[in-house]
Amino acid sequence: MIAYIKGKVAEILEDRVILESGFMGYNLFMPMASAEAVLRKGDEVKLYTHLHVREDAMQLFGFLTKDDLHTFQLLLGVNGIGPKAALGILSGLTADELRFAVLSEDVKTISKAPGVGKKTAQKLILELKDKMDLQE
């Protein structure tokens, strides 16, 4: 629905960024490790987005690169991984680190991500290995 939003960083909060664009402020949940390292208040930025719609909420997720967005969407395709868990994984690992860990079946590295245990990491590897292999 919304491919990206280009605007000025109005605020950087604990779990999201508020991006001002066209006289509106958008709440964008994003991997904060990358956001805090790259973004500063007042920066002009382009964030690729994913709109997650639930019965009780609509949440907008923002990513600095198309690769991060694609990886987030792949994670959402894993049974039992929701947006919060996917965001946690991408906050602990870059898309490239995750891809390498999945392809090398490195359960230990994936388990370091917040909220991901050994079983979830194994499931993630099993379900994503073919999809990430095709992405190369």
Mean pLDDT per 10-residue segment, the chain (136 residues): 94 93 95 83 96 94 94 92 92 91 93 87 90 61
| Predicted pLDDT of residue 14 | 87
Among residues 13, 41, 63, the one where a domain terminates is 63
The answer to whether 72 and 61 have CB atoms below 8 angstroms apart is yes
Please give the residue range of the domain that contains residue 106.
66-135
| Predicted pLDDT of residue 76 | 94
CATH of the domain at 39: 2.40.50.140
Buried b (16+ CB within 10 A) or exposed e, 111-131: bebeebeeebbebbbebbeee
Task: Compute CA distances 100 → 41, 54, 64, whole Å.
Answer: 32, 31, 20
* Same domain, yes or no: 59 and 73: no
* Same domain, yes or no: 15 and 48: yes
Alpha-carbon span 120 to 114, nearest angstrom: 11
